[in-house]
């Protein structure tokens, strides 16, 4: 759906809602109409919670299996939109919200979205990224890596190095620390 249709829909949906309110209110009465709106909001929040937890459990299971949870994320987003539509007063938005709670309709929407989008997965955690292997498989060293023991390395800078642009007082303090450490 192109983005240029969104302003048109923002104008059309309230007009449809007002027309349906008038028609339903004329048939069953104002109080029954308002009661139906409140009941659909309550029922929608119950459905949102129930199906939201189901999708969350599926999302965690797919993620734990190391797969990309694209379908579950899209289903979760559609359930969220359905909940918002059901909490919005009106029969048109309630109808759209209830349709999005039907898994078959969400699958049709998912198939359409999946045909338009390419999903990718990136490594994460200890095993992912640009390393040479799994960290748990043991040392992974090359020839240019030098291991130092604690007595071969000092975190106190050498005052005699040409890279040290500290004042003479600071160099004296560093030498005192070095003497105290030894």
- Sign for the CA dihedral angle at 104, 110, 115, 121 comes to negative
Both tokens of 49, joined, read 């919670």
- Across the range 158-174, mean pLDDT stands at 63
Closest alpha carbon to 105 in 73, 69, 79: 79
Buried b vs exposed e over 100-128: b needs ≥16 C-beta within 10 Å? Answer: bbeeeebeeebeeeeeeeeeeeeeeeeee
Both tokens of 122, joined, read 């990136």
| Chain-centre distance for alpha carbon 158 | 48
At 92-111, the pLDDT tens digits run: 999 999 999 898 998 998 88
Ranked by mean pLDDT, which of 69-73, 103-107, 112-116, 143-147 comes out on top? Answer: 103-107
Q: What is the overall mean pLDDT for the chain?
A: 78
pLDDT at position 51, please? Answer: 87
Instruction: Check pLDDT > 70 for residue 115.
Output: yes
Instruction: Check pLDDT > 90 for residue 32.
Output: yes
At 62-77, the pLDDT tens digits run: 888 888 788 888 888 8
pTM of the predicted structure, to 2 decimals: 0.58
- Phi/psi of residue 50, each to 5°? -65, -55
* Residues 75/62, Cβ–Cβ less than 8 Å: no
- Sign for the CA dihedral angle at 75, 76, 79, 80 comes to negative
pLDDT at position 119, please? Answer: 57
* Residues 178/156, Cβ–Cβ less than 8 Å: yes
């Amino acid at each position: 759906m192109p983005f240029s249709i969104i302003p048109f829909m923002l104008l059309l949906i309230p007009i449809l809602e007002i027309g349906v309110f008038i028609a339903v209110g004329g048939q069953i009465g104002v109080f029954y109409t308002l009661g139906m709106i409140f009941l659909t909001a309550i029922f929608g929040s119950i459905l949102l919670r129930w199906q939201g937890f189901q999708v969350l459990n599926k999302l965690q299971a797919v993620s734990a299996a190391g797969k990309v949870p694209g379908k579950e994320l899209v289903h979760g987003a559609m359930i969220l939109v359905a909940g918002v539509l059901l909490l919005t007063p009106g029969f048109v938005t309630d109808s759209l919200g209830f349709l999005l709670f039907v898994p078959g309709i969400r699958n049709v929407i998912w198939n359409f979205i999946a045909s338009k989008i390419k999903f990718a997965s990136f490594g994460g955690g200890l095993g992912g990224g640009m390393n040479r292997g799994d960290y748990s498989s043991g040392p992974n060293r090359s020839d240019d890596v030098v291991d130092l023991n604690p007595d071969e390395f000092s975190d106190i800078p050498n005052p005699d190095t040409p890279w040290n642009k500290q004042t003479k007082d600071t160099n004296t303090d560093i030498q005192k620390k070095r003497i105290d450490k030894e």
